[in-house]
Amino acid sequence: MKCERCLNENPLYFYEGTRGIYCRRCIHLGGHQVESLLEIDVKDEYATMPFELSEDQKRVSKLIAKKGLNENVLVEAVCGAGKTELVIELIEKAFSQKLHVGWMIARRQVVLQLAQRLESIFVDQKVIAVCEGYTDVLEGHLVLLTAHQLYRYPQKFDVLIVDEPDAFPFKNNDLLNDLAKVACKNTKIYLTATPDSTLINSNVYHVFLHRRPHQRDLVVPQVIITWKWCQYLILIVYLFRIYKDERVLIFVPTIRLAKRLSTWLRLPMITSQSENQQDVLLDFDRNDKGKLITTTILERGMTFEEVYVIVIESNHSVFDEASLVQISGRVGRSFEKEKGECIFLGSKKSQAIQKCLQRLRHHNSV
Ligand SMILES: [Zn+2]
């Protein structure tokens, strides 16, 4: 026996109710499922790009468009390389063949932001965002959605773009990965700066984008290994002396530490438990000398101009290689201004730190 919705074959999950057999693995996903998506008209052009791509982006974009309708593609693009722009050409090609594209994104906030951006690129198409709080409209030409909404689209997407497969909650989540399999009819396009070895060794065509559009090297973190208490002394020197006039993000491994440090240094903080997340982010974004304590919640998705980054206890196990690469990727993203540094403070040089440095140096050397 197999559940059509989530591919479950484990008999322990099935039970017989009054109205038939249920699957307990996916029964909590009990919303409306889509019968059919909007039909796509054949046109010469679908997208209006707001700016021109760099030569590197053009090359990768062409490759993805060429391969992406026939085989799975892994796009490994460094943080800040502009991975959204890389799949526009592929989406156009899919549209011209009346094929539907779904775009799965880990975070709800990013689904909403990206939908707005894509609306201005695909002006004549119906671009919709489907996530918690936005489930009234389910039929569109291009669907952006969180992983938990995938079950609404069984076999509906000819191409499924999986944005950051290594991010929570998709990473290592068997149910969500199975839902993606059910939703996707043909090919998957993975977009990430930090693919894990399972993905790299799976059956994918692997393309790289090693440089950001501004062509400068990625910022390689400066690693300072010292006693724990000494890390905090160094932090204070940087925050109130060296980076006094800069915008600084301070990453800490746990919510508890974020709270303690915030009280001690009298600085604002943001964690997954903060109720005023939007206000805190807005304040930080507006203040070019702002300081903000954060957990890994800000490791990806958000871009701040000319930001400096300090990681406390960077050898802690929550900071794996992908996390550290993403954190250091917050720095140096501005097109015009070359500004920003990254410091890892730790009591030893963990394997994750070493791998992170190796990966960044490798990108810079290509
Ligand atoms: Zn199921």
pLDDT at 165: 93
Asked if 115 and 7 sit in the same domain, the reply is no
Which of these three, 186, 209, 232, is where a domain ends?
209
DSSP label at residue 240? I
Query: Using one digit for the tens of pLDDT, what is the confidence trace for 154-180?
Result: 999 999 999 999 988 898 899 999 999
Q: Which phi and psi angles does 146 have, rounded to 5°?
A: -85, 165
Q: Does residue 283 have a pLDDT over 80?
A: yes
Query: Using one digit for the tens of pLDDT, what is the confidence trace for 52-73?
Result: 899 999 999 999 999 999 999 9
Asked if 12 and 130 sit in the same domain, the reply is no
Asked if 21 and 69 sit in the same domain, the reply is no
Asked if 195 and 296 sit in the same domain, the reply is no
> Lowest-confidence range among 15-29, 171-185, 264-278?
15-29
pLDDT at 210: 94
Residue 352 lies in a domain: yes
Residues around the ion ligand 1 (C-beta < 5 A) = 3, 5-6, 8, 23, 25-26
- Ligand 1: centre distance to CA 177 (Å): 13
Kindly state the tokens that stand for 47.
């997208």
Mean pLDDT of 330-344: 90
Asked if 25 and 42 sit in the same domain, the reply is no
Mean pLDDT of 23-27: 92
Asked if 205 and 344 sit in the same domain, the reply is no
- Ligand 1: centre distance to CA 257 (Å): 39
Kindly state the tokens that stand for 69.
């309708």
Mean pLDDT of 246-270: 97
| Banded pLDDT at 296 (limits 50, 70, 90) | very high
- Ligand 1: centre distance to CA 24 (Å): 6
Residue 216 lies in a domain: no
Amino acid in the structure at residue 267: L
- Ligand 1: centre distance to CA 47 (Å): 37
By three-state DSSP, how is residue 158 classified? strand
Mean pLDDT of 249-257: 98
pLDDT at 20: 87
| Banded pLDDT at 17 (limits 50, 70, 90) | confident
| Residue 362 burial (C-beta neighbours within 10 Å; 0-12, 13-18, 19+) | exposed
Q: Can you tell me the distance from the alpha carbon of 136 to that of 128, in angstroms, rounded to the nearest whole number?
A: 10
pLDDT at 162: 97
Asked if 12 and 100 sit in the same domain, the reply is no
Asked if 167 and 239 sit in the same domain, the reply is no
Asked if 51 and 123 sit in the same domain, the reply is yes
Tally of domains in the chain: 3
Domain boundaries, position 50: 38-209
pLDDT at 60: 96
| Residue 55 burial (C-beta neighbours within 10 Å; 0-12, 13-18, 19+) | exposed
Asked if 170 and 291 sit in the same domain, the reply is no
Residue 66 lies in a domain: yes
Residue 43 lies in a domain: yes
Contact 253, 313 (CB under 8 A): yes
Residue 214 lies in a domain: no
- Ligand 1: centre distance to CA 178 (Å): 10
Percent of the chain with pLDDT over 90: 81
pLDDT at 313: 98
Q: Can you tell me the distance from the alpha carbon of 77 to that of 83, in angstroms, rounded to the nearest whole number?
A: 7
Asked if 230 and 200 sit in the same domain, the reply is no
- Ligand 1: centre distance to CA 30 (Å): 11
Residue 215 lies in a domain: no
Could you tell me which of 169, 337, 308 has the C-alpha nearest to residue 235? 308
Which of these three, 209, 239, 259, is where a domain ends?
209
- Ligand 1: centre distance to CA 151 (Å): 10
| Banded pLDDT at 19 (limits 50, 70, 90) | confident
Contact 187, 100 (CB under 8 A): no
Percent of the chain with pLDDT over 70: 100
CATH number of the domain to which 166 belongs: 3.40.50.300
Mean pLDDT of 304-321: 96
Q: Does residue 102 have a pLDDT over 90?
A: yes
- Ligand 1: centre distance to CA 250 (Å): 41
**CB atoms near residue 163 (< 10 Å):** 24
Kindly state the tokens that stand for 360.
């960044």
Query: Using one digit for the tens of pLDDT, what is the confidence trace for 105-133?
Result: 998 888 998 999 999 999 999 999 999 99
Residue 73 lies in a domain: yes
| CA-CA-CA-CA dihedral for 336, 337, 341, 342, to nearest 10 | -20
Mean pLDDT of 230-237: 98
- Ligand 1: centre distance to CA 1 (Å): 11
pLDDT at 109: 84
| Stronger pLDDT, 51 or 161, i.e. the higher one | 161
Which of these three, 159, 178, 209, is where a domain ends?
209
Kindly state the tokens that stand for 326.
């993403």
Distances (CA, A) of 59 to 64, 84, 253: 9, 14, 38
pLDDT at 49: 86
Q: Can you tell me the distance from the alpha carbon of 178 to that of 315, in angstroms, rounded to the nearest whole number?
A: 33
Residue 310 lies in a domain: yes
Distances (CA, A) of 351 to 121, 323, 343: 42, 13, 17
Asked if 232 and 248 sit in the same domain, the reply is yes
The full 3-state SS of 327-357, as one line of letters, equals HHCCCCCCCCCCCCCEEEEECCCCHHHHHHH
DSSP label at residue 239? I
Q: What are the percentages of helix, strand and coil residues in the chain, rounded to 5? A: 35, 20, 45
Q: Count of H helices and E strands in the chain?
A: 11, 15
